[in-house]
Structure 1
Amino acid sequence: MAKKNRKANSLYQLKVTLISSKPPIWRRLIVQDNIRLDQLHFVLQTAMGWSDYHLHQYRVGNDCIGIPEPDFDFDVKDERKVYLHDIISKPKDYVIYEYDFGDGWEHKILLEKILPLDSFESPIVIKGSQACPPEDCGGIWGYYDLLKAIQDPTHEEHESMLEWVGGEFDPDAFDMKAINNNFKSLAF
Structure 2
Amino acid sequence: MSRQVFQLKVSLVGVRPPVWRRVLVPGGYTLDRLHRVVQHAMGWRDCRLHAFEIEGRQYGEPDPDGGLDIRDELDVRLDAVVGKGSRLRYTYDFGDWWEHDLVVEDVCTADPDERYPACLDGARACPPEGVGGPTGYAVLLATLADPEHPERRAMREWAGGGYDPARFDAARATTLLRRFC
1:61 counterpart = 2:73:
no
Which stretch shifts more, 91-100 or 112-121?
112-121
1:107 counterpart = 2:100:
yes
CA positional deviation for 1:95:
0.5
Which residue is 2:178 aligned to?
184
Distance 1:150 1:113, change over 3 A: same
Structure 1: which 4+ aligned runs deviate by more than 3 Å? none
Which residue is 2:69 aligned to?
75
CA positional deviation for 1:72:
6.4
Quote the sequence identity (%).
39
Q: With the length of structure 2 as denominator, give the TM-score of the two structures.
A: 0.93
Alpha-carbon distance between aligned partners in 1 of 2:35 and 2:2, rounded to the nearest angstrom: 18
Q: What SS does the corresponding residue of 1:144 show, helix, strand or coil? A: helix
Gaps of 5+ in 1: 1-6
State whether residues 116 and 178 of structure 2, in contact with CA within 8 Å, keep that contact through their aligned partners in structure 1: no
**One-letter identity of the residue aligned with 1:166:** G
CA positional deviation for 1:121:
2.1
Q: What SS does the corresponding residue of 1:20 show, helix, strand or coil? A: coil
Q: What SS does the corresponding residue of 2:179 show, helix, strand or coil? A: coil
Q: Deviations over 1:135-154 (max 9, x none)?
A: 01000111010111122122
RMSD of equivalent CA atoms: 1.6
**One-letter identity of the residue aligned with 2:104:** L
**One-letter identity of the residue aligned with 2:35:** H
Q: Deviations over 1:116-146 (max 9, x none)?
A: 1217421000111111000010001110101
State whether residues 118 and 178 of structure 2, in contact with CA within 8 Å, keep that contact through their aligned partners in structure 1: no
State whether residues 26 and 116 of structure 2, in contact with CA within 8 Å, keep that contact through their aligned partners in structure 1: yes
Alpha-carbon distance between aligned partners in 2 of 1:146 and 1:72, rounded to the nearest angstrom: 38
Q: What SS does the corresponding residue of 1:185 show, helix, strand or coil? A: helix
Q: With the length of structure 1 as denominator, give the TM-score of the two structures.
A: 0.90
CA positional deviation for 1:8:
6.6
Which stretch shifts more, 170-179 or 116-125?
116-125
**One-letter identity of the residue aligned with 1:152:** D
Matched length: 180
1:117 to 94, 110, 114: 110
1:134-145 equivalence runs, <5 A: 134-145=128-139
